[in-house]
Structure formats: structure tokens, C-alpha cells
A and B are shown apart, each in its own frame.
Chain A
Amino acid sequence: MRGIVRAMATTLGTFVRGPVTREYPERHRPIPQRDRAFPLLLWDFDTDEPFCTGCHACERACPVECMTVLMKDNPAHTSLGGTSKRRKIIDKFWIDYARCMRCNICVEVCNFDAIAMNNTWSGHEISVYDRADLVMDLPQLLAQHKAGAIDEWVAP
């Protein structure tokens, strides 16, 4: 009988301790800075263009091949009368969030620190009715950092 009494005492102990539930949609737990949701592209505010030069490094390193990158000549390059030092710049960029396995390799291989993992709740709460809506194009990938909503963390 001792074991039963002990078990009942244990449950009574937790009864008194009170709930530990986090009520999720109402209260968002603060998530750590290193949180990895999905990759995003970063915006270079100095020259007002993306950091990304479309060098295909991330595309080649991606284990699940969820990225598609197209590069073009930068119209804002200094040789063309612009202010940017980037000779080439990203033209089109798609990331299929439905395929991405969030391994962080694209961030590690990027030579220009142009890509980072979304570390806000907006990266976790993306549910759509159509898988095609999870294929993000360049404006969508840039929008959050451009709006200053991301405090990105890139592994040193």
C-alpha cells in the first residue's frame, strides 16, 4: 500500500504546485536569438540593395535543393554610374519553405552574410492552404529585414 500512498502524495504535490502551461497563441514565449526558423535574405541599407550577389554558394550547399538563384549585372554598380560596389546582384531568388530542412548550412556558406535564419515568431507561424504559397520569391524574402523586423544572428 505504501507505493499507492506515495503515488497519491506525488500527484497531490503537483496539484498544489500549479499549472506550467504556456497559453500559446495568446502568450508567445520569447524565443532565443539563435532560433532557426526559415532562411531570409538581408538588406544592405547603406547602398539600398540586397547583400546577395547571387553567387549560388547556398544553392549548391543546400542538402534538399530548395533554393533557386538567378544573378544579373548590377545596374547600380559604380561603373554604370551607381554607388554600389557589387558588380553582380541577385535577380531572382526562390526558397521553397516546404522543402527547407532548416539546417543552417546556407547561412554558414554565404560569403557575403546575405542570408540569415528568421529568428522571430513570424518564421514559425506560416501556415497556408496551398504548398505553392510556401515558395518564397525575392521580395518576400527581403521584406522582413527591409522593414527592420529581424535582429539577425549569424553564427560567428
Chain B
Amino acid sequence: MVANTHEQEFETQELLINMGPQHPSTHGVFRMVLGVDGEVVTDVVPHIGYMHRGAEKLCETMDFRQGVGYMDRTEYLANFNAELSYVLAVEKLAGIEVPERAQWVRMILCELNRLSSHFMFTGAFGTDVGVFGTAFVYSFREREVLLDLFEEITGDRLMYAYFRPGGLAWEVPDNFESRVHEVLLSAERGIRDMDGLLTQNEIFLARTKGVGAISAADAIDWGMSGPSLRASGVPLDLRRDDPYLYYPQVKFDVITGEAGDVFDRYHVRLKEMRESVRIIEQCMERLADGPILPERLPRMLRTPPGEIYERTEAPRGEYGIYLVSQGGNRPYRLKIRSACLSNLQALRDMTIGHYVADAVVILGSIDIVLCEVDR
């Protein structure tokens, strides 16, 4: 009875809290409006589109070489992977055979890029969970080393524009192999530090276990992909299931989680980094001298009319390029299937019913790149 009268006397009110687009924990310019009952989230309304720059439309006015540079800008944390999807689509449509060496180098660079992207994730995620910058600095310490290597190869730290339809823009430097080994050592040190700092930490476990869980069926329904999907226990990895480059020739495990909660999404990524190191080591053994571009490549690439969908396993999931060509040197229509956008759809489902503090962690665990969401 007493509890009843209290309920009548105290009228609770739902409070709307605006997070973003200028908030320390929204990655990029993302805005979500949280309906809050006390500390519990009752509603989430995400607002996207702040970063829309019309990359797809722009690409329709670019020839195939120019388009590579724009792919960099859609996915600024996994540029090599984004470029790869695009050049693979163009190559398949134009029927270009890519030399072996170029393929291996592409694989190495994509996996290195996966490492640097996942480092970015672990760092930002650590900050979301509340580690005062330490996780961030550990990650960026090693990411910096990776970017140094990318700069030595491509000349730029972020916007590489290095892959070309047909192969690579230019040959890798002479000390490539020794440098990659150095970088792998430091990356392993970074993974070890990260692991030590977070994985077993009781407070971290308390914050992440059981938070933002999503079942395998729901995850598939929302169209999630990549580590976020694998954390729910769906062993889908395009490198294995829809292979491209020479992935069938290397050995690696597809990491899956069980509960699909925030901790699994973190742990899957951390383990995946170790797998990436494994893949790169195998690639380095197979890397042989050879040309990096096909012998006969037209000065201005033209494709026959047709359409194609080419997808690759980017660090955040399935990054797909749907390319329609009506002949000529530029796409008639280009559609980017963004992994982040699909993963972000599940945010509401994951967040409702959790605490405000969890909303931040869940958003962090999806590992969105707003540039890729909005394109």
C-alpha cells in the first residue's frame, strides 16, 4: 500500500538528453537524443547526415582512377579496404588480371589497415568506458607506427590513394619487408598492453558484460556485419565466405563471440588483431618479386556496360560497392554499402533499457565512422 501511494504522489517525467553532435563521446558528428527516466534510457533517436558530402554522386563524375581518392574519404580509418572494394569492382567489370605481387601487397596493406583501425577502436572504446586517456594513448602509440609505415609506402598518412584499378600506383620501398616486421612487433606490443589494461579488468568487465546484447537472429535482421555480427556468434567473414584476393591461400580463424554484448564486440576485435598479424606474416612469406601493374593497361580505363556488386571485409564489416556502368570511363551509378550504417541501425534495439552511461559504451562498441555512415 505504501509503495502505491508513493507512486501516485511522485510523478516521474521523461527527460530528453541531447548527445551530440558536439559531445565528447559521439564519434564524429553523430547526434542521438536519449529519452531518460532517471538514469535508464527509454528511447533513442539517432540523427545522422551531418557528414554527408555526396561521395557517391561525386564519383559519377570521376573516372575510375580519380574515384580511388574519393573512396579514401568515405572510410577514413580503413582507407585501403575502401579503395580495395572499389578497385576490385572496377577490375571485375573491366576484366583486368591483377599481377600476383600487387595482390599480396594489397592483402598486407589491408590487414595492416585493419590493425590500425582496430587500434583506433580500442583506444576510443577505452575512453568511452572511462579510462582516462591511457587506452587511447596505448592505441595511438602503435597506430602512429603503422601510419608511419603507410606514409613511407604511399606518401600520405591517411588519404593513401595507392590502389589503382589493375594494381598499385607504384612499387613499395626496398625495405618494405623489414619495416613490416618491425611494425608487427610494435603492434603486438600494443595488443598486449591493451589486453593487459582492459580484458581482465574487473571494472571493465562489470561495465561491458551483458551490456547492449543483441542476439544472432536480431543482428542478422538488422543487417549487421563484421566484428559486430561475429560477436553475436554468427561466423560470417567475407574473407573466408566470399573470398577475394588470395585469402583462401592463408590460414586464419574466424573469431566469434557468444553473447553479442559489448564485451564480445571488444574481445572479437582484439582477437581479430592477432589474426591479422598471423595473416600478414603468411603474406610476407609468399611475397615475391614481379610486376605491380598488368602489362597492357589503357591510359584511360573504360569498362563495358554492366553492373557489379563487389564486397570486402572491411574492419567494420561488409563494405560493398555497387557499380553500374553504361560504358565509358566513369560509373553511371555508384552505391556504397556501408557497414557502419547497417550496424548503427541496431543501436536503438541495443540501448533501450540500459543506463545512460551504457548508451555511450554501446555506441562506442559499434565502432562507427560517421564519414562512412553519411558518405
Answer whether A and B touch in the complex at a CB cut-off of 8 Å: yes
Interface residue? B279 (CB, 8 A): no
Is A31 part of the contact surface with B, judged by Cβ < 8 Å? Answer: yes
* Interface-side segment among B29-37, B195-203, B227-235: B195-203
CB pair B169–A3 under 8 Å, yes or no, is no
Known: A2-B200, A7-B201, A63-B70. A32 touches B151 (CB 8 A): yes
User: Which of chain A's residues 1-48 have a Cβ closer than 8 Å to chain B?
Assistant: 1-4, 6-7, 9-11, 13-14, 20, 31-32, 34-36
Residue of B nearest to A36 (CB): B155
The answer to whether B202 touches A1, judged by C-beta atoms less than 8 angstroms apart, is yes
Which residues of chain B from 24 to 82 have a CB within 8 Å of any chain A CB? 62, 65-66, 68-70, 73
> Using a Cβ–Cβ cut-off of 8 Å, how many residues does chain B contribute to the interface with A?
33
A104 to chain B, nearest CB (A): 6
Is A80 in the interface zone, CB < 8 Å from B?
no
Pair A101/B69 contact, Cβ less than 8 Å: yes
A76 to chain B, nearest CB (A): 30
Q: How many angstroms between the C-alpha atoms of A96 and B170 in the bound complex?
A: 26
Chain B residues near A108: list those with CB within 8 A. 169
Tell yes or no: A71 within 8 A of B by CB.
no
**Residues of A with C-beta under 8 A to B196:** 6-7, 9-10, 13
Q: Is the CB of B66 within 8 A of A61?
A: yes
Cα–Cα, bound, A25→B61 (Å): 40
B173 at the interface (CB under 8 A from A): yes
Contact of B201 among A6, A63, A153, A155 (CB under 8 A): A6
Interface residues of B in 58-114 (CB under 8 A from A): 62, 65-66, 68-70, 73
* A108-156 at interface with B (beta carbon < 8 Å): 108, 117, 119, 153, 155-156
A36→B62 contact, CB < 8 A: no
Of the candidates A34, A101, A156, the one whose C-beta lies within 8 Å of that of B155 is A34
* Contact across chains for B169 and A104 when beta carbons are under 8 A apart: yes
Which B residues lie within 8 Å of A20 (CB)? 141
CB distance from A26 to the nearest CB of B (A): 18
Q: Are A117 and B155 in contact (CB under 8 A)?
A: yes
Q: With A and B bound together, what is the CA distance between A58 and B199 in angstroms?
A: 51
A32-B201 contact in complex given A104-B169, A155-B170, C-beta closer than 8 Å: no
Whether B250 is near chain A, meaning CB under 8 Å from some CB there, is: no
Give the chain A neighbours of B69 by CB distance below 8 A: 63, 101, 103, 105
Q: A102: CB under 8 A from chain B?
A: yes
Q: When A3-B200, A63-B62, A101-B159 are in contact, do A14 and B138 touch as well, CB less than 8 Å?
A: yes
Q: Which residues of A contact B153 (CB under 8 A)?
A: 34
Q: Which residues of the other chain, A, contact B154 by a CB distance below 8 angstroms?
A: 34, 36
Q: Any chain A CB within 8 A of the CB of B134?
A: yes
Question: Nearest CB to that of B66 among chain A residues?
Answer: A63
Cα of A152 to Cα of B205 in the assembled complex, Å = 52
Bound: A81/B170 CA distance, A: 41
Q: Are A104 and B159 in contact (CB under 8 A)?
A: no
Q: Is the CB of B205 within 8 A of A35?
A: no
Chain A residues with CB under 8 Å of B199's CB are 3
Nearest CB on A from B280, distance (A):
20
- Contact, CB under 8 Å: B169 / A4: no
Verify A156–B170 contact, CB threshold 8 A.
Answer: yes
Which residues of chain B come closer than 8 Å to A35, judged between CB atoms? 151, 155-156
Contact indicator per residue, chain B 171-206, by CB within 8 Å of chain A (1) or not (0): 101000000000000000000010011111111110
Q: Which residues does chain B contribute within 8 Å of A9, judged by CB atoms?
A: 196
Please list the residues of chain B having a beta carbon within 8 angstroms of any beta carbon in chain A.
Answer: 62, 65-66, 68-70, 73, 134, 138, 141, 151-156, 159, 161, 169-171, 173, 193, 196-205
List the interface of chain A (C-beta within 8 A of B): 1-4, 6-7, 9-11, 13-14, 20, 31-32, 34-36, 61, 63, 101-105, 108, 117, 119, 153, 155-156
**30 pairs, A vs B, C-beta closer than 8 Å:** A2-B200, A3-B199, A3-B201, A3-B204, A3-B205, A6-B201, A7-B197, A7-B198, A7-B204, A9-B196, A13-B193, A13-B196, A14-B138, A31-B151, A32-B151, A32-B152, A34-B153, A35-B156, A36-B154, A101-B69, A102-B156, A104-B169, A105-B65, A105-B69, A105-B161, A108-B169, A117-B155, A119-B155, A155-B169, A156-B171
The 8 A-B pairs of least Cβ separation, nearest first, read A3-B200, A10-B196, A63-B66, A36-B155, A155-B170, A103-B69, A34-B155, A32-B152
Identify 13 new A-B residue pairs, CB closer than 8 A, beyond the known A4-B203, A7-B201, A105-B65. A3-B201, A4-B201, A7-B196, A7-B200, A9-B196, A10-B196, A10-B197, A11-B197, A34-B153, A36-B155, A103-B161, A155-B169, A155-B170
